[in-house]
Chains A and B, each alone.
Chain A
Amino acid sequence: MSVFVAVLVGIAMGIVFGFALEKSRVFEPGMIVGQMQMKNFIMLKVFLTAVATGAVVLAALNGFGYVKLAPKAALYSADIVGGLILGAGITLAGACPGTTLAQIGAGYSDAFFTLIGGLAGAVAYAYAQPALSKTFLAQGGGKIIFSDLIGVPYWMAALVLAAVLAVVLMALEAWRPWRADLGADVDGDLPASGAPSVAARPQPAE
């Protein structure tokens, strides 16, 4: 595959991705911070639906032999330490690495600072990587997937995961209808329920 074709495919896929992120409103800081404060569940719904869909798609593509899976190596220390730092960053940015670009496209000005901070963080990691690769963070390895641990074919376990997620999502929707989480300006800004308690709450350290 030539790099030129890959870039064209990437732009086309990115446009679809960005369109879906914008339409779902999951790129909104109000949705992302709201999810982390357990006040808004649109992020979890989009995320789990996309995981379930991906699992069905890959069960078919891999089960019929069209594609090989490409899971990342399990580096548990790095997954935990990196995941915790990444999660803290997602909350403070009100974005993840992909949705930062959706925020820029939709017009949020602070997303440019998130983007520049992200580029700086990636460069800082690149400089630190040779040293970090000699620490506990590099320990582990092996592309371990759950279906191999259980001893069933990938496609079977992936379909079970998708079915379980579908049930979870139906229960979640029955408990918290998605329209109620949108807010008047579809940005996840739902001040009515939180406003009184904000004033009464002792101010946390920042």
Chain B
Amino acid sequence: MLSEKAWSPYLAGIVIGLLQIPAFLIIETALGASSSYVTVGALITSWVDPSILDIKYASSHVATTAKNWWQVALVGGVAIGALISMKMSGARRAGRSPIWSRALGSASPMKRYAVAFFGGFIMLFGARIADGCTSGHGLSGMAQLSVGSTVAVAAMFAGGIATAMLALRRI
């Protein structure tokens, strides 16, 4: 089973949902991903501009606390887990997904890299405004029946669908 290329989305979804058990019991927090970008980004920035740590939002994310660095380790572990899974199944990815040349109407790597950078930038800027992403608001917030998280997830899909319809071509 570990060497299969694809699992049922239901099996994978159950595994991901079960991760709330160690998150709540051991770390006393919910699954999340986007605040780790502030931790790492603000730490790297502080080497060039130490004054960023005068901003309480930045310094509280960089602080050496269990929750901050647990989440950084979590997203780092995601890369390791995906690498192990890919090695075991042989579903190696290289370069860019074939959908991008259709979605962007161009096979240019530079165009894709520019769109990826811009997409990543607004993805995290938006996630930080909303105080959570697909994991924190989506997986964890909705499971906790949070009203604000449900609003955020609805907006996330609305923004995603509108952008996919207006800015990308059909894949």
Query: Residues of A at under 8 Å CB distance from B?
Result: 1-3, 5-30, 33-39, 42, 45-58, 61, 66-76, 78-111, 113-127, 129-130, 132, 137, 140, 143-147, 149, 154, 157-158, 161, 169, 178, 182, 185-191, 194, 197-198, 201, 203-206
Q: Are B25 and A15 in contact (CB under 8 A)?
A: no
A29 to chain B minimum Cβ distance, whole angstroms, is: 4
Which of B69, B112, B157 contacts A110 (CB under 8 A)?
B112
A6, B67: Cβ atoms under 8 Å? yes
**A94 to B146 Cα, complex, angstroms:** 26
- CA–CA, A11 and B70, complex, Å: 8
Q: How many residues of B contact A (CB 8 A)?
A: 141
Per DSSP, chain B at the interface is helix
Cα–Cα, bound, A24→B38 (Å): 27
- On chain B, the residues within 8 Å of A68 by CB distance are 28
Once the chains bind, are B123 and A29 in contact (CB under 8 Å)?
no
Residues of chain A within 8 A (CB-CB) of B34 are 97, 122
Residues A3 and B66 in contact in the complex (CB < 8 Å), given A88-B162, A96-B33:
yes
CB distance from B3 to the nearest CB of A (A): 10
Determine whether the beta carbon of B163 is less than 8 Å from that of A87: yes
Interface contact B118-A106, CB-CB below 8 Å: no
Chain A interface secondary structure, helix, strand, loop or mixed? helix
Q: Measured between C-beta atoms, what is the minimum distance from A161 to chain B in Å?
A: 7
Q: What chain B residues lie within 8 Å of A71 (beta carbons)?
A: 141, 144-146, 148-149
* B28–A82 touching, CB < 8 Å: no
Checking A53, A61, A110, A113 against B24 with a beta-carbon cut-off of 8 angstroms, the contacting residue is: A61
Write out the residue numbers on chain A whose beta carbons fall within 8 Å of the beta carbon of B107. Answer: none
What is the CB-to-nearest-CB distance from B49 to chain A, in angstroms, rounded to a whole number? 9
Within 8 A of A (CB), among B76-105: 76-86, 89, 91-100, 102-105
Is B126's CB under 8 angstroms from A47's CB? no
Q: Is B85 touching A206 in the complex (CB atoms < 8 A)?
A: no
